[in-house]
């Protein structure tokens, strides 16, 4: 009986133990399967799955004729997961052989970034096989994009650049980042116990959305001409820098914007927009417009300009070219400081101040570009007579180049002050178009009578005044010179040897289509805008109108007969007459026949890429090709001596 009780007691104990174990097992099951299911699921996924960012393709940037200025090209980037490497030493050695970096460097990288490590970014197709054949554990590749600028540094300060992650960091690349960038996606993939990717299983959970393309008002041909002419004068005049900006008078779109600097070969800041300076005599448009618009003076009225020396209180105002008297229109033509000072004094501070503001000085133009400056215009309450006089010939205020250009554009287009812009439209990946900017008239600032008077004055400046070096028989030009002395670095006052030399104007003068300004800072050969900047403006205008598509802009008439050789020569960038220009448009067939005795670089535009390449090679030129089809653009421009060409770049459509 006692033994039976013991058996029962042991049975109950064992049953109790099993019940307790069951309860513990059940509780643990509830904890794992219900209470902590999410956490363990995430832990399992972290071991078995990895996610990868799917980069969107950045939108392209194109010029006004649809030529690509910036676009994305697919490349591969390689990464590893050091945590799952069975033999890190061996993998570090493999990477060392491929990259040239030491084994210890890669082991240190493995320790610092155990979960994810990029071993190579944006690998070109040529080098991808090195990584693919190395059999590096946990190596994974992903397609990325690299930004390509097919025209190298042409318009680089306008277009801007992107960083290594393809985000815009300057220029229009950053201004239109939201439109160009698109939205990145994400995918997940499986990996085995060693961290290696299971290549037959990958799932995209968020599709990337590509960015939209942007079409600019920039004209690539115009831009190249401007940069070449700026560089040519910079090399000869010894200035610190040269800059220019040009606008389409029909829309306000910026057709060219460039800056070149002494000793620099690429990527300058967009000085015409982000720099401000005292304008010098280009500001004389303000007192001239004020007095003619208000009827204070008429063009034929005579003003005593004091023989070139005028005392105003204890200050003396001087003219570079002394006259006793001048008509009011001649004051503008011959750029008399004394004459415009007397005009300003007659108009008064309030009217001059209001005219400055009406022309857009002292405020941003609103151009779609980062870093635009507003300039500086002081309120008139504390203006002295001398300060008012100084403002009338361009001192005591500061403006940007684009502000001056659009002020003169208002004279050229009938009195309307336009808002300048670079981007005209965007096109989504689906092909949907949207206007970004169009012609915007800020306000009408001149009546027809005043506009006609100013136009006659600015034509006179070129034909007989201070800008005779802007006169050209192919393209009529109107405008105004500017010579703004620079402040002495060692003390107060202005340095008579250093200036900002400028010329602002528009062309063709008889039917204006484009307006712009050219500036050089501290040129050594001359301080005067009429000597330095005016001829550059002329060369830019005549080369641009001489392009085949712009022949309608060239002067006509018996006395302005157009010489076809001259047009070809000017289009090529030759500033002086040359009997060699007849070779400029030699055909590819003629080149193969040896009919190029002067060894001039031919015009390959309109030829097929294949024919142009073969012709270039037959001339012994190193040639690089971008695009396909027919040649739309070449660099250097045609017409120069071949011996001076290191490499020819041909761009297809």
Show which of 527, 562, 597 is a domain's final residue.
562
Residue 190 lies in a domain: yes
> Are residues 153 and 232 located together in one domain of the fold?
no
Q: The whole model's pTM is what?
A: 0.76
Strands 648-652 vs 623-626: parallel, antiparallel or unpaired: parallel
Q: Which residue has the higher pLDDT, 11 or 417?
A: 417
Mean pLDDT of 35-51: 58
> Are residues 263 and 317 located together in one domain of the fold?
yes
pLDDT for position 268? 75
> Are residues 499 and 602 located together in one domain of the fold?
no
Return the SS3 of 8: helix
Nearest Cα neighbor of 376 from 239, 283, 245 is 283
pLDDT for position 581? 30
Return the SS3 of 494: strand
CATH code of residue 550: 3.40.710.10
DSSP string, 121-181: EEE-HHHHHHHHHS--TT-EEEEEEEEE-TTTTTTHHHH--B-TTS-B-SHHHHHTHHHHH
Asked if pLDDT for residue 297 goes beyond 90, the answer is yes
Residue 379 lies in a domain: yes
Show which of 190, 216, 242 is a domain's final residue.
216
Q: Which residue has the higher pLDDT, 330 or 551?
A: 330
Q: CA-to-CA distance for 408 and 454, rounded, in angstroms?
A: 10
CATH code of residue 586: 3.30.10.20
CATH code of residue 151: 3.90.1310.10
Residue 572 lies in a domain: no
pLDDT for position 524? 95
Distances (CA, A) of 399 to 228, 276, 625: 25, 5, 42
Mean pLDDT of 226-232: 95
pLDDT for position 471? 95
DSSP 8-state assignment for residue 620: T
Do 423 and 172 touch, CB atoms closer than 8 A? Answer: yes
> Which distant-in-sequence residues (6+ apart) come within 8 Å of 644 by Cβ?
none
The residue range of the domain holding 351 is: 220-428+436-562
Q: Which residue has the higher pLDDT, 214 or 621?
A: 214
Q: Using one digit for the tens of pLDDT, what is the confidence trace for 335-374?
A: 999 999 999 999 999 999 999 999 999 999 999 999 999 9
Do 447 and 483 touch, CB atoms closer than 8 A? Answer: no
Half-sphere exposure of 130 (CA within 13 A, CB side): 17
Residue 41 lies in a domain: no
pLDDT for position 563? 45
> Are residues 493 and 357 located together in one domain of the fold?
yes
What integer best gives the mean pLDDT of the chain? 85
Do 218 and 256 touch, CB atoms closer than 8 A? Answer: yes
pLDDT for position 1? 60
Most confident among 124-138, 405-419, 613-627 (mean pLDDT): 405-419
Q: CA-to-CA distance for 22 and 234, rounded, in angstroms?
A: 91
Q: Using one digit for the tens of pLDDT, what is the confidence trace for 66-109?
A: 999 999 888 888 888 888 888 888 988 988 888 889 989 998 99
| H or E element, residue 263 | none
Q: Using one digit for the tens of pLDDT, what is the confidence trace for 12-34?
A: 778 778 788 878 877 777 776 77
> Are residues 616 and 536 located together in one domain of the fold?
no
Q: CA-to-CA distance for 466 and 342, rounded, in angstroms?
A: 20
> Are residues 202 and 83 located together in one domain of the fold?
yes
- Paired tokens of 409: 């554009």
Return the SS3 of 283: helix
Show which of 187, 216, 245 is a domain's final residue.
216
Residue 529 lies in a domain: yes
Asked if pLDDT for residue 579 goes beyond 90, the answer is no
Residue 40 lies in a domain: no
Q: CA-to-CA distance for 557 and 591, rounded, in angstroms?
A: 35
Half-sphere exposure of 543 (CA within 13 A, CB side): 26
Asked if pLDDT for residue 9 goes beyond 90, the answer is no
> Are residues 141 and 235 located together in one domain of the fold?
no
* Secondary structure, 3-state, 29-79: HHHHHHHCHHHHHHHHHHHHEEEEEECCCCCCEECCCCCEEEEEEEEEEEE
| H or E element, residue 228 | helix 220-237
Do 110 and 136 touch, CB atoms closer than 8 A? Answer: no
Asked if pLDDT for residue 588 goes beyond 50, the answer is no
Mean pLDDT of 409-420: 97
pLDDT band at 624 (very low <50, low <70, confident <90, very high): confident
Asked if pLDDT for residue 417 goes beyond 80, the answer is yes
Q: Which residue has the higher pLDDT, 408 or 571?
A: 408
Do 503 and 517 touch, CB atoms closer than 8 A? Answer: yes
What are 652's strand-pairing partners?
Answer: 631
Asked if pLDDT for residue 299 goes beyond 80, the answer is yes
Q: Which residue has the higher pLDDT, 567 or 265?
A: 265
- In this structure, the dihedral spanned by the alpha carbons of residues 456, 458, 461 and 467, taken in order and rounded to 10 degrees, is -150
Do 502 and 282 touch, CB atoms closer than 8 A? Answer: yes
> Are residues 384 and 304 located together in one domain of the fold?
yes
* Secondary structure, 3-state, 446-460: CCHHHHHHHHHHHHH
> Are residues 57 and 151 located together in one domain of the fold?
yes
How many structural domains are present in the chain? 4
Q: What percent of the chain has pLDDT over 70?
A: 84
| H or E element, residue 266 | none
Sign of the torsion formed by the C-alpha atoms of 172, 175, 176 and 181: positive
Q: CA-to-CA distance for 158 and 267, rounded, in angstroms?
A: 9
> Are residues 327 and 406 located together in one domain of the fold?
yes
Q: Which residue has the higher pLDDT, 611 or 157?
A: 157
Do 255 and 247 touch, CB atoms closer than 8 A? Answer: yes
Residue 622 lies in a domain: yes
> Are residues 162 and 310 located together in one domain of the fold?
no
Residue 8 lies in a domain: yes
Do 34 and 41 touch, CB atoms closer than 8 A? Answer: no
Strands 441-444 vs 478-487: parallel, antiparallel or unpaired: unpaired
Q: CA-to-CA distance for 569 and 565, rounded, in angstroms?
A: 6
> Are residues 268 and 365 located together in one domain of the fold?
yes
Q: Using one digit for the tens of pLDDT, what is the confidence trace for 508-564?
A: 999 999 999 999 999 999 999 999 999 999 999 999 998 888 877 876 543 344 444
pLDDT band at 289 (very low <50, low <70, confident <90, very high): very high
Mean pLDDT of 321-343: 96
Mean pLDDT of 570-575: 49
Asked if pLDDT for residue 589 goes beyond 60, the answer is no
Mean pLDDT of 231-260: 96
Q: Which residue has the higher pLDDT, 636 or 509?
A: 509
């Amino acid at each position: 009986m006692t033994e039976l009780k013991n058996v029962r007691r042991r049975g109950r104990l064992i049953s109790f133990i099993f019940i307790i174990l069951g309860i513990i097992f059940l509780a643990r099951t509830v904890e794992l399967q219900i209470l902590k299911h999410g956490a363990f699921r995430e832990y399992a996924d972290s071991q078995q799955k990895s996610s990868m960012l799917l980069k969107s393709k950045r939108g392209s940037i194109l010029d006004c004729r649809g030529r690509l200025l910036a676009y994305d090209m697919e490349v591969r980037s390689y990464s590893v997961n050091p945590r799952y490497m069975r033999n890190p030493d061996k993998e570090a050695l493999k990477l060392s052989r491929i990259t040239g970096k030491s084994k210890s460097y890669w082991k240190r990288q493995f320790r610092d970034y155990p979960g994810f490590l990029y071993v190579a970014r944006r690998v070109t197709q040529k080098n991808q096989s090195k990584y693919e054949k190395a059999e590096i554990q946990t190596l994974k590749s992903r397609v990325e994009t690299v930004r390509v600028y097919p025209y190298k540094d042409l318009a680089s300060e306008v277009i801007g650049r992107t960083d290594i992650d393809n985000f815009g960091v300057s220029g229009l690349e950053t201004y239109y980042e939201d439109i160009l960038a698109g939205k990145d996606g994400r995918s997940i993939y499986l990996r085995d116990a060693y961290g290696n990717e299971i290549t037959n299983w990958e799932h995209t959970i968020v599709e990337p959305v590509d960015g939209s393309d942007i079409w600019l008002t920039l004209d690539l041909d115009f831009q190249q001409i401007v940069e070449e002419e700026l560089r040519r004068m910079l090399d000869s005049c010894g200035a610190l820098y040269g800059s220019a900006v040009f606008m389409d008078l029909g829309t306000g779109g910026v057709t060219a914007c460039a800056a070149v600097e002494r000793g620099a070969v690429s990527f300058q800041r967009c000085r015409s927009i982000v720099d401000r300076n005292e304008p010098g005599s280009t500001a004389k448009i303000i007192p001239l417009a004020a007095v003619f618009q208000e009827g204070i003076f008429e063009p034929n009225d005579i003003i005593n300009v004091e023989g070139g020396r005028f005392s105003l209180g204890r200050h003396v105002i001087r003219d570079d070219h002394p006259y006793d008297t001048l008509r009011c229109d001649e004051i503008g033509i011959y750029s008399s400081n004394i004459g415009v000072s007397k005009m300003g004094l007659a108009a008064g501070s309030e009217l001059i101040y209001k005219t400055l503001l009406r022309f857009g000085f002292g405020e941003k133009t609103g151009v779609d570009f980062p870093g635009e400056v507003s300039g500086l215009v002081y309120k008139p309450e504390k203006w002295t007579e001398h300060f008012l006089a100084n403002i009338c010939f361009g001192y005591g205020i500061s403006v940007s180049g684009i502000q001056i250009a659009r002020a003169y554009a208002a004279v050229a287009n009938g009195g309307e002050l336009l808002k300048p812009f670079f981007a005209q439209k965007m096109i989504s990946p689906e092909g949907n178009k949207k206007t970004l900017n169009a012609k915007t008239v800020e306000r009408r600032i001149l009546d027809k009578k005043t506009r006609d008077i100013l136009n006659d004055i600015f034509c006179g400046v070129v034909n007989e005044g201070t800008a005779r070096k802007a006169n050209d028989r192919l393209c009529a030009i109107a405008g105004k010179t500017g010579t703004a002395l620079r402040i002495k670095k060692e003390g107060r006052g202005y340095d008579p040897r250093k200036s900002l030399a400028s010329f602002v104007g528009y062309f063709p003068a008889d039917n204006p289509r484009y307006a712009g300004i050219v500036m050089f800072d501290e040129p050594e050969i001359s301080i005067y805008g009429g000597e330095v900047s005016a001829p550059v403006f002329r060369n830019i205008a005549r080369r641009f109108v001489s392009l085949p598509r712009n022949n309608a802009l060239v002067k006509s008439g018996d006395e302005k007969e157009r010489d076809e050789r001259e047009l070809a020569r000017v289009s090529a960038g030759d500033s002086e007459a040359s009997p060699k220009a007849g070779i400029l448009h030699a055909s590819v067939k003629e080149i193969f026949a040896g009919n190029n005795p002067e060894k001039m670089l031919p015009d390959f535009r309109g030829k097929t890429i294949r024919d142009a390449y073969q012709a270039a090679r037959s001339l012994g030129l190193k040639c690089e090709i971008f695009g396909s089809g027919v040649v739309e653009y070449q660099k250097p421009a045609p017409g120069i001596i071949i011996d001076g060409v290191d490499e020819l770049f041909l761009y297809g459509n």
